[in-house]
Amino acid sequence: MATPNNLQQINVSQNTSITTSTAPAYFNNYFVPSFNVSQNVDDAVVAKFEQIADNKDAARALASAVIYTAAAQGKDPMAILQEFLALPNGQLSLYLAMFLNLNRVGTSYLGLNNAPKVGKYIARTILA
Q: For the chain, give every domain's residue range.
A: 39-103
Buried b / exposed e over 98-117, threshold 16 CB at 10 Å, is: ebbbeeeeeeeeeeeeeeee
Measured distance CA(105)–CA(26) in Å, rounded? 10
At 2 the pLDDT is 54
At 3 the pLDDT is 52
At 93 the pLDDT is 84
- Confidence tier at 44 by pLDDT (50, 70, 90): very high
Whether residue 5 is predicted with pLDDT greater than 60 in this model: the reply is no
Whether residue 14 is predicted with pLDDT greater than 60 in this model: the reply is no
User: For the whole model, what pTM was predicted?
Assistant: 0.61
Q: Which residues contact 118 (CB under 8 A, 6 or more apart)?
A: 126
